[in-house]
Amino acid sequence: MTDLENRPDSGVVRHEPEEPIADPGLPPHELRPTDVDEKAERRAERQVAGMFLLSAVFTVLFCVSYFVFAIGDDPTMVLGLGASNVALGFCLGMALLLIGVGAIQWARKLMGDEEIVEMRHPARSSDEDREEAVASLTEGVEQSGIGRRPLIRNTLLLSTGLLGVPAIIALRDLGPLPGDKLYHTVWRKWMRVVQDVTGTPIKPEDLQVGQLVNAQPDVFYRPFNPKDSDGDDLTAAQAEARGEEPLEVPEGVELQQEKAKAATIVVRMEPSDITPSKGREDWGIDGILAYSKICTHVGCPISLWEQQTHHLLCPCHQSTFDLADNGKVIFGPANRALPQLPLMVDPDGYLVAQSDYTEPVGPSFWERG
């Protein structure tokens, strides 16, 4: 039985048993005070019109306050807030709100509110329409002769198929492949560890137990000269003989990218609290250790270090690393220990790196698994 046949007026004889509870149908229509009382009707009319008028007033006030209130360095203030923002927001908000409220009041009080039943119609097209559509499609295929002319069909397939190639070629604009960039940072042997922002080089005796330094490599502040095996600067001639060039301070996008990878935190703990894993015994100096600042989960910068528990917490997804235990993950979604930067002291007594990070910093990527 279709919905059509279920209509009370369809004339089809019902075969189903009587419903257990009879359909009570629509209740009798009741009139509103505005339907019977002319005074009430006029009052409602005035209310609606009043709201629309008030809305217009607020729109005008919006335009006025746009020009009246000062913005910029010395803004007009009201209640400690910017007067321009407050007035613009309030006026536009009220203008829109009053149109909406007026419309609802209009519908509730004045528009006709007779209850109406509208039956649902079947979604299927009639059989004639369906046959006609199939017939015209078949005729079209027949007349185009696409089945009889394979040359045209195949060349068309070729030309449309090839259109996918430009889309793939354009992917190259996403930039060159990363190569081995993700495996290296700007850190290298003898490069000084300096405080971020100020560029202050750090001596081990400057650090107290419980100290944290947000550090960056010195090359972001001063050019890095090639060093000999004792950590002393090479002269220009010696450097040339060895085929090494001084590293210039990176600028612009390059600086930002290198900073994002090379960011490091230096902490000092009681040496007795630290349990270095095999091969890392000489990576610190008297309890001073350096770790990558980039979380191995999705790469947020982390420096929420609790000096008493030695835990480093990532604010994004609560990954927690134990810096006294080789940066081991002790909680959260991160999958890898925080990479550690091996430290030593240069001839002038400043903290320097022994090498670059020994593993890629930051989150996992495709080739790394």
Q: Which residues bind other proteins (CB under 8 A)?
A: 30-33, 35-38, 75, 77, 80-82, 85-86, 89, 104, 108-109, 113, 195-198, 200, 202-203, 205-214, 267, 301-309, 311, 313, 315, 318, 320, 331
201 vs 226 by CB, closer to other proteins: 201
47 vs 85 by CB, closer to other proteins: 85
Q: How far is the CB of 70 from other proteins (least distance, A)?
A: 11
Distance CA(14)–CA(30), nearest Å, equals: 32
Give 340's strand partners: 291
Q: In terms of residues, how long is the chain? A: 369
The CA-atom distances, in angstroms, between 176 and each of 41, 179, 180, 280 are: 73, 8, 12, 36
219 vs 288 by CB, closer to other proteins: 288
61 vs 202 by CB, closer to other proteins: 202
CA angle 297, 302, 303 (to 5 degrees): 155
85 vs 225 by CB, closer to other proteins: 85
Distance CA(340)–CA(361), nearest Å, equals: 9
Q: How far is the CB of 56 from other proteins (least distance, A)?
A: 21
138 vs 200 by CB, closer to other proteins: 200
Please count the other Cβ atoms lying within 10 Å of the Cβ belonging to residue 361. 27
Q: How far is the CB of 324 from other proteins (least distance, A)?
A: 14
Contacts of 216 (CB under 8 A, 6+ apart): 194, 195, 196, 259, 262, 263, 264
Q: How far is the CB of 292 from other proteins (least distance, A)?
A: 15
Q: How far is the CB of 205 from other proteins (least distance, A)?
A: 8
Q: How far is the CB of 203 from other proteins (least distance, A)?
A: 7
The CA-atom distances, in angstroms, between 199 and each of 192, 207, 215 are: 10, 16, 8
